[in-house]
Chain A
Amino acid sequence: MAKGGKDNVHFPHRHLLGIEGLSPEEISILLDRSETYVNQNRRADKTTPLLHGRTIINLFFEDSTRTRTSFELAGKRLGGDLINMSVATSSVKKGETLIDTAMTLNAMHPDVLVVRHPHSGAVKLLSEKVNCAVINGGDGSHEHPTQALLDALTIRRRRGGLSGLQVAICGDILHSRVARSNIHLLNTMGARVRLIAPKTLIPPEVERLGVEIFHDMNEGLRDCDIVMMLRLQRERMHGNFLPSIREYFHFFGLDYEKLSNAKEDALIMHPGPMNRGVEIDTDVADDVGRSVIREQVEMGVAVRMAVLELLALNPDNGGNA
């Protein structure tokens, strides 16, 4: 199959900073392209040299194993030159500002920067100072667009589409960039979104993003097609959000009893890494019939290949020259 500019697939943005603002067509372009890479990634030879000679920098200001590895594999399978820069080894700790780091890297002529940062909006700020494509690998509590895309791809492959599905997102919505990107994507693609969490973990006026809010798992999960669990970000829990993990699991942890309210074939998803016994019962997480958590990881590589390809080969970013 022809790829990479040859068949005129065009994604009309220089960067992927978030899902908010993307049209259903644009999301579909990314998902359709990802689909082709799923097949490629299951072959023995997983590479296509579309990004030969291109430089991709993974710039991570926050710890990450899976997202960074996923982008790394994606870049390498496309034949790009990829390096990892993490905060521990960079000069950011020496007091260099984000902007200085951006300018320095920019001078090295990278083609794509994949950026993760603990502060919302930092990736957008950085994108204004560089000449290359920027992919948001997660910024603060704002967005994590490739996670939402891989979730959508997983659902689409299992259910044939997204429109009309009832999706429940459960847990720490307040701190979650995954939740925000998923809310935007699922709403844009015509799914219906419910949020289930204790009131302390629901951000103010989030209903204006077009979601229904529940504080009772049994009610919220009723007749759902998809159950997305979020990781409880325990490192951010110093502010009296919850009395205890035990109490949280009792009311909001996903176990078979609560799950029985959802549709019989409801899919269970989790962006990882999981806190077993905190937000999800270990048997449920490992239920091969319903949990698609490992499939999400697989889709992640395919989605990131598609995003890297479409941005790197975008004419506004130097195109296919």
Chain B
Amino acid sequence: MAPRNDVSQGQVAYVNARLLDPAAGLDTAGGVLTDGEAITDVGPGVTKKKAPKGARIVDCHGKCLSPGLVDIRVELGDLAATVEAAVSGGVTSMVCLPTPELVIDDMSEVEFVARRARKLGLAKVYPYGAVTKGLEGKELAEMGLLAEAGAVAFTDGERAVADAQTMRRAMSYASTFGLMIVQHPEEPSLAADGVMNAGETATRLGLFGIPKEAEVIMVERDLRLASLTGGRLHIAHVSTAETVDTLRRAKADGLNVTCDTAPPYFALNETAIGDYRTFAKLSPPLRAEQDRQAVVEGLADGTIDAIASDHTPRDEESKRLPFAQAAPGGIGLNTLLAVSLELYHNGHLSLLEVLKLVTSAPAGLMGLPAGSLKEGAPADLVLFDPDEGWKVDADKLVGKAQNSPFDGRPVQGRVLRTVIDGRPVFEPDA
């Protein structure tokens, strides 16, 4: 559906829904009333009968209505295609990573991203700023100015800030302004030749492995640096049992650290690579089954604060290569909701708990005006059926890139409508 940026929506009453607002702990029958770009009423009292005169009525037929999803780890690639993929997955806000193509170490780039995304009128895009100039891990980027321009937190994206002194200074300096550093936790020297998780599967395939210790070593170091500097640290895409344990202990000790994971790390393990499937080549690599289970536990007990899709669009040319040469990364916006709902369908989390991990929790981490149905909040909504089954077919996903690690997977949970600032921006083809 083409976005209608210019049309004022007036009042719309979404009635007869199962309301799910994780920020308020609300799971009840009811509705949402919006006026223009904002939510003006919410709860069991919003019904067809009580809707204000002139309000357009949208009957939700008992399906789930929740805040739009918030995805805090997205590589933009082709921006127009990516925001389309986002709304097809119910994602209404996302935070985009610096990449070698879009470094975001300069204020102009922050403004460029925000302006282009606003023009498209689909998912709202908030940029991360780079920690270091050119993502080279040496000199600090202008974090203070970048933050003033709109960068919500700081990261070198898919590159770890590897040098300990640089990381120390970055955390220390960022904390001057109350800014958060997001680390891709991987000790580069241990990962240098590796293309998948080290272990039996890699040995059988004759591929060089990245030991899972490469992750926890970096996490443990950074936790020490966080203590040393008082800096605010967030660990991205946790993938190993050791990292979950380490972060669980750090949190119990009162350290101000948070973390997220991505669907591949709780839904897949290294065997998804099978006979050299490059769509399953990710960074960090898919790990062993016991790691996957530990990540699920970390989500269930609250050690892991949020789920981000780790959306990494890659073209066919960069994936149709021998495994070692293929680019790592998988798309995830389209399947974020459905794969996350597996945690609910498999009985690990309640529906509200799953939604919290993809709405209010990530919004809270990044300080975004999103992830809530309270009065005055932006009318960013997703209507979905948590039970409807479908099969992921990478070729048919909305967007340009097709490199889904979930290609062929049967999932449950379909987005029925996505609303941004009161405007309907996505409905699936019948």
Residues A97 and B321 in contact in the complex (CB < 8 Å), given A125-B276, A205-B200: yes
Cβ-closest chain B residue relative to A181: B206
* B192 CB, min distance to chain A CBs, angstroms: 8
Residue in B198, B324, B325 whose CB lies within 8 Å of A204:
B198
What's the tally of chain B residues with a CB closer than 8 Å to chain A? Answer: 22
B253 within 8 A of A: no
Residue in B198, B211, B320, B324 whose CB lies within 8 Å of A120:
B324
Cβ-closest chain A residue relative to B192: A239
* A96 CB, min distance to chain B CBs, angstroms: 12
Residue in A97, A141, A204, A239 whose CB lies within 8 Å of B206:
A141
Residue in B199, B203, B206, B209 whose CB lies within 8 Å of A140:
B206
Please, which residues of chain B bring their CB within 8 A of the CB of A97? 317, 320-321
B275 within 8 A of A: yes
User: Using a Cβ cutoff of 8 Å, how many contacts connect chains A and B?
Assistant: 70
CA distance A125 to B275 in the complex (A): 9
Within residues 164 to 211 of chain B, which ones have a CB less than 8 A from any CB in chain A? 193, 198-200, 202-209, 211
Q: Is the interface of B mostly helix, strand, loop or mixed?
A: loop
A98 within 8 A of B: yes
**Cβ of A208 and Cβ of B317 under 8 Å apart?**
no
Residue in B193, B198, B206, B325 whose CB lies within 8 Å of A177:
B206
Q: Is the interface of A mostly helix, strand, loop or mixed?
A: mixed
Please, which residues of chain B bring their CB within 8 A of the CB of A120? 205-207, 276, 322-324
**Cβ of A204 and Cβ of B322 under 8 Å apart?**
no
**Cβ of B320 and Cβ of A99 under 8 Å apart?**
yes
**Cβ of A180 and Cβ of B204 under 8 Å apart?**
yes
Please, which residues of chain B bring their CB within 8 A of the CB of A189? none
What's the tally of chain A residues with a CB closer than 8 Å to chain B? Answer: 25
* B418 CB, min distance to chain A CBs, angstroms: 36
Q: Mark A108-135, 1 if CB is under 8 A from B, else 0.
A: 0000000001011110110000000000
* B17 CB, min distance to chain A CBs, angstroms: 47
Query: A98, A141, A180, A239: which has the most chain B beta carbons within 10 Å?
Result: A141
**Cβ of A121 and Cβ of B323 under 8 Å apart?**
yes
**Cβ of A209 and Cβ of B206 under 8 Å apart?**
no
Within residues 230 to 285 of chain B, which ones have a CB less than 8 A from any CB in chain A? 275-276
Please, which residues of chain A bring their CB within 8 A of the CB of B321? 97-98, 125
Please, which residues of chain B bring their CB within 8 A of the CB of A180? 204, 206
**Cβ of B276 and Cβ of A121 under 8 Å apart?**
yes
Query: B199, B204, B209: which has the most chain A beta carbons within 10 Å?
Result: B204
CA distance A98 to B198 in the complex (A): 26
Q: Mark B312-326, 1 if CB is under 8 A from A, else 0.
A: 000001001111110
Residue in B193, B200, B204, B325 whose CB lies within 8 Å of A119:
B325
A231 within 8 A of B: no
Binding site for A on B (CB under 8 A): 193, 198-200, 202-209, 211, 275-276, 317, 320-325
Provide a sorted-by-A list of 23 A–B residue pairs whose CB atoms are within 8 angstroms: A97-B317, A119-B324, A120-B205, A120-B206, A120-B276, A121-B275, A121-B276, A121-B324, A125-B276, A125-B322, A140-B207, A141-B207, A142-B205, A177-B206, A203-B203, A204-B199, A204-B202, A205-B199, A205-B203, A208-B200, A208-B203, A209-B200, A239-B193
Binding site for B on A (CB under 8 A): 20, 97-99, 117, 119-122, 124-125, 139-143, 177, 180, 203-206, 208-209, 239
Contacts A120-B322, A140-B324 known; 11 new A-B pairs at CB < 8 A: A120-B323, A121-B205, A121-B276, A121-B322, A121-B323, A121-B324, A140-B206, A203-B202, A204-B209, A206-B203, A208-B203
